[in-house]
Structure 1
């Protein structure tokens, strides 16, 4: 009786694949949620488009080309310059810090509709404080190496 209870309470862990347990669960949950979203939102929308009650939002809509292409250019420049500036200050995370400050500033200014003095001051403060806080938490508290 004792050996049966002991085997029931014992746990064996395969360390080569144990780290994949929770990501698999999360992937399946996300897949199920994606199917639910498709069934509840997309299918009725497409049926309304087919009946002529709605139109596809992509067709016939005007596009803000400056913001669209500006965002793409800033993202590409952000990742490229993070490595370049990071190589100037190796193993300090300053590449992440300085480039993130500029990135947040330019993105915020690009998406501001009205440039008021108060709005620009808030954007500048946010561009300095938010990346600095993230850099401090990741690089100093958690000792995560940043570019």
Structure 2
């Protein structure tokens, strides 16, 4: 049992580290260029006492049929500032941005391990649309990706 738990811990740590490294080579390498200088993209930060405490990003969805959908990404709030409504405010910022742009919905994907994030999404009105089991190596650990959607009014 202990060996299985250790294997799960090291495996998840490896995939998480891989994800962070990929992100730093992709959109997070140059936030201004990737998010702020492109039409339909956005990046917001939350500050408290001059300290960066949260971030969120938005971009047009790349999913088929998602031309009028905006994808919420990079939602993060520092541990000391969680439970204060910051993540909710950042999500509302993306929803408002999508509505101003005439989008039909805000979409996002997350993992089943992000329990508190999933609860937040559901509290603010996102609906779980789909549960995806990715590559075989992830299926072994019961890893699932959850797809959420918030339908905007008047669409």
Q: Same fold by TM (over 0.5)?
A: no
Between Structure 1 and Structure 2, the one with more strand by share is 2
Q: Which has the higher contact order (CA 8 A, sep 6+)?
A: 1
Rg (Cα) greater in structure: 1
Between Structure 1 and Structure 2, the one with more helix by share is 1
